[in-house]
Amino acid sequence: MDHRPEARAKNDTFCIPYYLEVAMRFARALTLATLTAFSASCQSKQEAQPAAPAPAAAPAPAPASDKIVIGHVGSMTGSEATFGTSTDNAIKLAIEEQNKKGGVKGKQLVLKTLDDGGKPEEAAVAATRLVTQDKVAVLLGEVASSRSLAMAPIADSNQVPMITPTSTNPRVTKDGPKTRPYVFRACFIDPFQGTVMAKFATEKKITKVAVFRDVGNDYSVGLADFFTKTFQELGGKIVVDESYKAGDQDFKSQLTSIKNKKPQGIYVPGYYTDVALIARQARELGIKVPLMGGDGWDSSKLYEIAKGALDGSYFSNHYTDEDPSPVVQDFVKRYKAAYGAVPDALAVLGYDAALVAFDAMERAKDLTGPSIRDAIEQTKGFQGVSGVITLDADHNPVKPAVVLGIEKNKPHYAATISP
């Protein structure tokens, strides 16, 4: 949940009639979308594929359109805006490259992106709209676990496959004990990510840790728990477990309680805007120990806001631009040429999620939801930029993680940890 006043002003529309809200949302989506996406939205109204699956025995239905619409739900605005924009940039790049190679099954791909402002309820509205109105073949998104959790039932009930690039909470692909048939991801999951930092801290001889979690964020709560479990199993002690809510501005009382317990490190598995503020306030209180976190730290804004307060800190992530492998370096070059910036993990995984979708659509017997779903489920040994993707029974790839250390207000590769 976003409690920031500016986010509230921008996003809270409960006092506005529903039709106006929809019109506003539509206008916002249009200004954000590319011209290509605009033509896609126009086209998809008359020509797109039916969402209903063909009976299994029937021959592949004749293509209803010469275009394939890909839907993306992302936080293009709000306090996690870099998550959505990096992902969207990378998906656009993937589509452009694929179209140059002839598209998928001879059809060109078009992108329709909807902004959820960083809110789970908006992510659900956006997913519903992409599925029912724009008739997308595949949904890409969301980045954040809380928002993917809101979208997942919509993908399942409409039989439209959804691939989240980066949502790491294990529950995203699960419906209670069973695997959600239409939901997949391109990244590792948090039981592993929590273990990565627990092992790393233990190797650094850090044995007393304070946990500081965002209680309104499924990702943060899950990762804090997974870290705690492994860290304790490895003999470490959690000296205090404090909480905050995304958008809080003053963290001093929790940080004072943390300081009093004299931890050797503080585990803060939150998103970049809050983490950077927490780091600054910790340093103001004279807390010098490293902060540790997860992939939610990954944003150029982290460093802009922290202004050096995170030097000496560490976080786990999906990729590093220092990886010398040609697949990575080649992608970094192409992304930089397109957007003038080094891609972050969101970009890398947004690109990989799109590629997994294209590969599956190419292999699928037709372009109905159930056929694309079957093909995604069969993804094996797919070479992405973030590593090789083979989906397990829970629709999760098993991939190594990297640990990045922050020095002089910049991230540097520190270690690779394999599952």
**Interface positions with ligand PHE (CB under 6 A):** 83, 143-145, 166-169, 219, 295-296, 298, 345-346
Rounded-to-integer distance, Cα 292 and Cα 117, Å: 27
Closer CB to ligand PHE, residue 104 or residue 246?
A: 246
Whole-angstrom Cα distance, residue 277 to residue 194? Answer: 22
Minimum distance from CB of 166 to ligand PHE (Å)? 3
How, if at all, do strands 178-179 and 174-175 pair?
antiparallel
Residue 264, both tokens: 């050797």
List residues bridging with 67 in a β-sheet. 108
Residue nearest to ligand PHE (CB): 219
Nearer to ligand PHE, 70 or 144 (CB): 144
Smallest distance, ligand PHE to C-beta of residue 116, A: 13
**Cα separation of 316 and 267, whole Å?**
11
Would you say 122 or 298 has its CB closer to ligand PHE? 298
CB of 144 to ligand PHE, least distance (A): 4
Other Cβ atoms within 10 Å of 410 Cβ, number: 12
DSSP class of residue 396 equals -
The string of DSSP codes covering 108-146 is: EEEEEEEE-TT-HHHHHHHHHHHHHTS--SEEE--SSHH
Four-CA torsion 88, 70, 104, 369, nearest 10 degrees: 140
Q: What is the smallest separation between the CB atom of 295 and ligand PHE, expressed in angstroms?
A: 4
Nearer to ligand PHE, 103 or 247 (CB): 247
Nearer to ligand PHE, 113 or 169 (CB): 169
CA angle 188, 191, 192 (to 5 degrees): 50
Backbone φ and ψ for 413, nearest 5 degrees, come out as -60, 130
Q: Shortest approach of ligand PHE to residue 75 CB, angstroms?
A: 10
CB nearer to ligand PHE: pick between 98 and 146: 146
CB of 174 to ligand PHE, least distance (A): 14
Cβ closest to ligand PHE, residue 68 vs residue 183: 183
Query: CB 223 → ligand PHE: shortest distance, Å?
Result: 8
Write the CB contacts of 260 (distance below 8 Å, at least 6 apart in sequence).
Answer: none
Helix 218-233 to helix 190-203 angle (10° resolution) is 50
Residue 317 CB, nearest approach to ligand PHE (Å):
7
Closest to ligand PHE by CB, 80 or 134 = 80
CA distances from 382 to 184, 186, 387 (A): 14, 11, 8
Shortest reach from residue 189's CB to ligand PHE, in Å: 9
Rank residues 265 and 296 by Cβ distance to ligand PHE and give the closer one: 296
CB within 8 A of 235, min separation 6: which ones? 202, 207
Sign of CA dihedral 29, 35, 37, 40: positive
| Pairing label, strands 388-389, 382-383 | antiparallel
- Min. distance of Cβ 183 from ligand PHE in angstroms? 13
Alpha-carbon torsion, ordered 5, 9, 14, 15, to 10 deg:
120
Q: How far apart are CA 159 and CA 192, in angstroms?
A: 29
Q: Smaller CB distance to ligand PHE: residue 68 or 93?
A: 93
